[in-house]
Amino acid sequence: MVAPMPLNLWSRSQREAVHETVRAHCTHSHLHLVALVISPTPNSLPGTLDRLDVPPKINADEDAWRISVLDAATEPVIIACDYRSLLSEASGRVIILSNFAERRCSGLILPATL
């Protein structure tokens, strides 16, 4: 069964509500969560900041890089942590879909360190 559940990641109450819905369905139907597929949100959800609109700054490339890391790494980890107990019951997996290579930050050049 595939059940897409869009939510505002930064809203703990929404994340908890979705988690409880998944847990209740698994319990009621005697199912196990075997995979959690996390994909980027193409558009911002209502009531959230549009992180893709980086304000013009001297460090716009660094801001774009920070936003890309947030989208591609931080957000999926937050979601995966919410489901670790359900996933561990069935040796479940986390699958992260990412468009990281297509982001505006792909041209960022990091300074060399000594």
Task: Write the pLDDT tens digit of every residue in 14-52.
Answer: 889 999 999 999 999 999 999 998 876 654 444 444 444
Number of domains in the chain: 1
Q: Calculate Rg over the CA atoms of the chain.
A: 17
Determine the structural domain holding residue 90 and report its residue range. 28-42+58-104
Strands (E), the chain: 35-38, 93-96
Pair of tokens at residue 35: 């995979």
> Is 8 within a domain?
no
pTM of this prediction exceeds 0.85? no
